[in-house]
Structure 1
Amino acid sequence: MPLVGFVLLTAGNAFFVAAEFALVTVDRPEIDRRAAAGDGAARTVRRALHELSFQLSGAQLGITITALLTGYLAEPALARIFAPALHPLGPAADRFTPFLALALATLLSMLFGELVPKNLALARPMPTALATARGMRGFSRAFGWLIRGLNNSANTLVRRLGVEPQEELASARSPEELGLLAAISARAGALPPDTAMLLRRTIRFGDKRAAEAMTPRVDVIALRATASVAELLTLAQHTGRTRFPVFEETLDLVTGVAAVPDALGVPLANRARTTVASVAREPVYVPESLDLDGVLAALKAADADLAIVVDEYGGTDGVVTVEDLVEELVGEIADEFDPDAVDDGGPVELTVPGGERTVLVDGVLREDELVEQTGFRLPEGPYETLAGFLMARLGHIPVAGETVEEGGYEFTVIEVERHRIEQVRVLRPEEPGDDA
């Protein structure tokens, strides 16, 4: 009879362990969906999740009770089973039997009462939670007074430590957790890589600043206020751009933004003598520190496609367009007007002699883009882009052909224009087994 009790108590311990792990790992949205569809067990699980601390305390109480009773019954029951086998040892058998019985009872209880139900609940949380829901509900009701008393005492001690106890787990996830979840889902094959990339970029969108998405000042194509509409149209034909900042004296004095559609509205005969200032629209200014959500809101409020990015001193730092914001989500957008564009808007894969795989990237890549395209993370330093890192390592503005090695990566400057590093070839470290 004690042996039967040991088996039943081990099963009871397994029940409480499975219920505990299932409650903390079950998919809550799926429980809500099933409960809304009329699943009674799912509704019970949902109620338990709303009082999770109470339910987990109940499971712990059940585990404690069954573990104590298991130890009380198992040792004498198993000792009687081992006694005949150890009888030849004589008086020594009386000393060895209790230890052997206790060791076996602990092993069986740990294996079948703890580890097996825990692993089962982690592998199949939904069916485990549904199967144990009503039993846990009944136990919690029967011993509710004791569970609440113990739980309240524990909460009092926790508050003394300066921490406010929580009745249920927070279901919200931080942006970092969501991004990590998207990456894990892509690696597991649950999400297409492109979809996972879009999700991660969307999550990071609001954390980026105007300075990170803008076209820097040195690359801004602008027109003096005295330039003619005809000059604007000619410039548009050569550059493929449709909007140009209009300035007086220097680019720090932007007075408007001239667009091709407005210029085309000027009669052909008047275009040579009509200034761009007369067709320019009021410029939209955004600080370089403004997040991209704010930049997008400013552009929408002004019904504009281009904003002037200004630094803390009021000087022009660059321009940011709607296309720049879209590219922060989907990556580089190549069109017929981008002279150096590649078909897929991503890094160019090159095969160099010896079979080494390299990547050709822009020198102005920021760290997040560099990690995304090459796997290399910029070391700490006074720079924000790959070009800044290379200039810091070399100590001067490089010329084409100069090389920097860092962390197993080799960076070769391919093109420099107007003191700016345009393109860099990145040679990544060999993967283990590449020479096999």
Structure 2
Amino acid sequence: MRRITARFVLRGLDGLRRLVLRATGAAATAGREDFTEAELRDLVAANTVLDGEERRLIDEVLAAGTHYVRELMVPRTEVVFLDARLSLEEALTLVRGARHSRFPVTDGSHDDVVGFVHLRDLLLRPAGDPCVHVGDLAREIKRLPGSKRVLPALSEMRRERHHLAVVMDEYGGTAGIVTLEDLLEELVGEIHDEYDAAPEPVPAAGAVEVDGLLNLSDFAERVGLALPAGPYETVAGFLMARLGKVPVTGDEVRLDGWLLTVRALDGRRVSRVALTRPAR
């Protein structure tokens, strides 16, 4: 995890305006309650007390304020759902090897999420415990619209002590899930633990391969190529929109001298994309 100043992170969680005003020494009651993003940036630029790390963190908080929950969520096609009628033994078989420790519980449909269970709920059962089905262990789950901004969502989940939320689409269906860690990483950068896969190296030249689910901002940061905005959130979505069809292995898209090639599919979704850098 990147080195951060704890007091600035906490202020960011409690509200972007309060963070910047306090950091720059400006009084929130000095005749104004609302500031535009441009004015907040001017306050930061004019302040001589903040060090480089604090300026970077505030800048990332401001940037995160423009992003939506749907941009950070794990899409439903990648989520391990557990039916409420599953036995605990069946559930353990399904979640074995999963990267997440919390799993949404459904009642017959992925659009009918009734709660969630933690892995330890399945593993650590006291002797004589009467629970036999996943639904018996389900805890209350938070719901967030995909159109909610990252900062309000982070503050809300932290205040209500939720670590997992179901992301809802505009039709009331399940679009995916998002964790408190996903939202926090948007502010402070990737938080790696011993269970995370090692980040994919990006060579200085030649070809590189990335996951099709990589979102646009992470893709630009990792590869150095900014994909145009559109009705999509991921590299896979960009390729589908640019091709105008469901991609197949070997499909290619050229952009600014780069060549993006569909390397592998997971069902109908692009799972791996190869990129060839332009000649220098």
TM-score higher than 0.5 here? yes
CA distance in 2, matches of 1:358, 1:416: 19
Name the structure 2 match of 1:388: 237
Match of 2:269 among 409, 420, 427: 420
Q: Secondary structure at the match of 1:201?
A: helix
- Whether 1:227 aligns to 2:93 is no
Contact 1:349–1:357 (Cα < 8 Å) also in 2: no
Name the structure 2 match of 1:403: 252
Cα distance, 1:358 vs structure 2: 3.2
Contact 1:365–1:386 (Cα < 8 Å) also in 2: yes
Superposition pairs of residues 209-248 of structure 1, within 5 angstroms: 209-248=68-107
Q: Give the alignment's TM-score, normalised by structure 1.
A: 0.49
Superposition pairs of residues 256-335 of structure 1, within 5 angstroms: 256-267=115-126, 274-335=132-193
Contact 2:258–2:277 (Cα < 8 Å) also in 1: yes
Superposition pairs of residues 1-16 of structure 1, within 5 angstroms: none
CA distance in 2, matches of 1:400, 1:363: 12
Which has more strand, going by share of residues? Answer: 2
Contact 2:121–2:137 (Cα < 8 Å) also in 1: yes
CA distance in 2, matches of 1:257, 1:364: 24
Aligned residues: 242
Name the structure 1 match of 2:202: 349
CA distance in 2, matches of 1:236, 1:381: 34
CA 1:426–1:302 in 2, change beyond 3 Å: closer, same or farther? same
CA distance in 1, matches of 2:134, 2:153: 25
Cα distance, 1:317 vs structure 2: 0.8
Q: Secondary structure at the match of 2:228?
A: coil
Superposition pairs of residues 52-201 of structure 1, within 5 angstroms: 174=39, 200-201=59-60
Structure 1 range deviating more: 296-305 or 245-254: 296-305
Structure 1 range deviating more: 359-368 or 223-232: 359-368
Q: Secondary structure at the match of 2:261?
A: strand
Name the structure 2 match of 1:60: none
Alpha-carbon displacement from aligned partner over 1:19-58 (angstroms, at most 9, x marks no partner): xxxxxxxxxxxxx99xxxxxxxxxxxxxxxxxxxxxxxxx
CA distance in 1, matches of 2:127, 2:269: 39
CA distance in 2, matches of 1:317, 1:288: 8
CA distance in 2, matches of 1:311, 1:218: 14
Whichever of the two has the greater Rg, that structure is 1
User: Which AA in structure 2 matches 1:424?
Assistant: V
CA distance in 2, matches of 1:235, 1:336: 22
Alpha-carbon displacement from aligned partner over 1:385-406 (angstroms, at most 9, x marks no partner): 3212212232322233332211
Name the structure 2 match of 1:15: none
Any unmatched runs of 5+ in structure 1? 1-31, 34-169, 182-189, 432-436
Q: Secondary structure at the match of 1:412?
A: strand
User: Which AA in structure 1 matches 2:219?
Assistant: L
CA 1:377–1:240 in 2, change beyond 3 Å: closer, same or farther? closer
Contact 1:409–1:428 (Cα < 8 Å) also in 2: yes
Cα distance, 1:254 vs structure 2: 0.5
User: Which AA in structure 2 matches 1:267?
Assistant: P
Cα distance, 1:269 vs structure 2: 6.2
Name the structure 2 match of 1:372: 221
Which has more helix, going by share of residues? Answer: 1
Cα distance, 1:330 vs structure 2: 4.2
CA 1:307–1:254 in 2, change beyond 3 Å: closer, same or farther? same
CA distance in 2, matches of 1:330, 1:412: 31
Contact 1:348–1:360 (Cα < 8 Å) also in 2: no
Contact 2:210–2:273 (Cα < 8 Å) also in 1: yes
CA distance in 1, matches of 2:246, 2:43: 40
CA distance in 1, matches of 2:214, 2:56: 17
Cα distance, 1:289 vs structure 2: 0.9
Contact 1:370–1:376 (Cα < 8 Å) also in 2: yes
User: Which AA in structure 2 matches 1:361?
Assistant: V
Structure 1 range deviating more: 216-225 or 392-401: 392-401
Any unmatched runs of 5+ in structure 2? 1-23, 26-34, 46-50
CA distance in 1, matches of 2:101, 2:127: 18
CA distance in 1, matches of 2:43, 2:267: 41
CA distance in 2, matches of 1:332, 1:228: 35
CA 1:382–1:239 in 2, change beyond 3 Å: closer, same or farther? closer
Alpha-carbon displacement from aligned partner over 1:102-128 (angstroms, at most 9, x marks no partner): xxxxxxxxxxxxxxxxxxxxxxxxxxx
